[in-house]
């Protein structure tokens, strides 16, 4: 991958994702930055987010709607199946998961652990408490 020259747009895109706790989509990043950078295009946002994920500057969270995370440390995520919100899951990452894969002959490059269920806000509004 060739090094990229400095771009103010790219750095603004990166900063918005790093500062967000919402695990934004490309469309969210575009909507947040468009008032500040009127010439910004959605295509530019997509290209830069994917490039930064390839470089390891951001995490790309796959799913029906791709989201991005500015925290590149090993941690799990939780997706609410009711509202679609993606949050960091509490608790430490267990490096034994990587070690177990290694013992089986796998070479772990990266991993993604995603929990699915109902977030606290949706559980309250639905009157459920399964935990």
CATH code for position 14: 1.10.10.10
Q: What total of structural domains would you count in the chain?
A: 2
- Residue-level length of the chain: 131
- Predicted confidence at residue 97, as pLDDT, reads 87
Amino acid 63: pLDDT: 83
Domain of 28 in residue numbering reads as 1-70
pLDDT tens for the chain, residues 1 to 131: 566 677 899 999 999 999 999 999 999 999 999 999 999 999 999 999 999 999 999 999 988 899 999 999 888 999 999 999 999 998 888 889 889 999 999 998 888 889 999 999 999 987 555 65
Spatial distance between the Cα atoms of 66 and 70, rounded to a whole number of angstroms = 14
pLDDT for the residue numbered 118: 94
Residues 51, 79: one domain?
Answer: no
Contact of 76 with 23, CB cutoff 8 Å: no
64 lies in the same domain as 103: no
Beta bridge partners of residue 116, listed in sequence order = 79
pLDDT at 5: 75
Let me know whether 99 and 65 are in one domain: no
Q: Is the whole-model pTM more than 0.85?
A: no
- Given this model, what pLDDT does residue 35 score? 97
Q: Quick one: tokens of 96?
A: 């034994």
In terms of domains, do 82 and 63 share one? no
């Amino acid at each position: 991958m060739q090094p990229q020259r400095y771009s103010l747009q790219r750095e603004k895109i990166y900063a918005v994702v790093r500062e967000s706790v919402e695990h934004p989509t490309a469309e969210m990043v575009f909507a947040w930055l468009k008032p500040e950078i009127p010439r910004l295009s959605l295509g530019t946002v997509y290209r830069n987010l994917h490039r930064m994920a390839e470089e390891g500057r951001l995490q790309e969270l796959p799913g029906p709607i791709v989201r991005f995370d500015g925290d590149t440390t090993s941690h799990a995520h939780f997706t609410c199946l009711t509202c679609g919100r993606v949050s960091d899951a509490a608790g430490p990452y267990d490096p034994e998961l990587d070690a177990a894969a290694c013992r089986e002959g796998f070479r772990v490059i990266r991993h993604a652990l995603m929990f699915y269920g109902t977030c606290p806000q949706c559980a309250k509004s639905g009157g459920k408490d399964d935990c």
